[in-house]
Amino acid sequence: MGVNPKRNIETLESTEEMSMCILNNKKFNSEEAEEIIQAIRIEKHPKGSILLKEGEVAKDCYLLIKGCVRQYFLVDGVEKTTFFFVEEQGFSSFRSAAKGIPSDHFLECVEDCTLAVLSVQKELELYKKYPNFESLSRSGLEEQLGDYQEMLGKFITSKPEDRYLDLLENRPELINRIPQYQLASYIGVSPETLSRIRKRLFLKK
pLDDT, averaged in runs of 10, over the chain (205 residues)? 36 51 61 81 94 96 92 94 90 91 97 93 87 74 76 82 91 91 93 93 80
Helix (H) or strand (E) holding 43: strand 41-45
Closest CA to 44 of 97, 89, 5: 5
Phi-psi region of 146 (alpha: psi -120 to 50; beta: other; left: phi over 0): alpha
Angle of helix 30-39 relative to helix 120-129, nearest 10 degrees, comes to 170
3-state secondary structure of 45: strand
Residue 85: strand pairing partners: 69
Whole-number pLDDT of residue 33: 77
pTM for the model: 0.81
Whole-number pLDDT of residue 2: 30
Q: How far apart are CA 118 and CA 122, in angstroms?
A: 7
Whole-number pLDDT of residue 111: 96
Whole-number pLDDT of residue 16: 55
Whole-number pLDDT of residue 186: 93
Residue 75: strand pairing partners: 78
- Contact between 4 and 50 under an 8 Å Cβ cutoff? The reply is yes
Q: How far apart are CA 136 and CA 27, in angstroms?
A: 8
Whole-number pLDDT of residue 4: 34
Can you list the alpha helix ranges (DSSP code H) found in the chain?
A: 13-23, 30-39, 94-99, 120-129, 131-157, 160-170, 180-186, 191-204
Whole-number pLDDT of residue 96: 94
Q: Look at strands 50-52 and 106-109 and give their pairing.
A: antiparallel
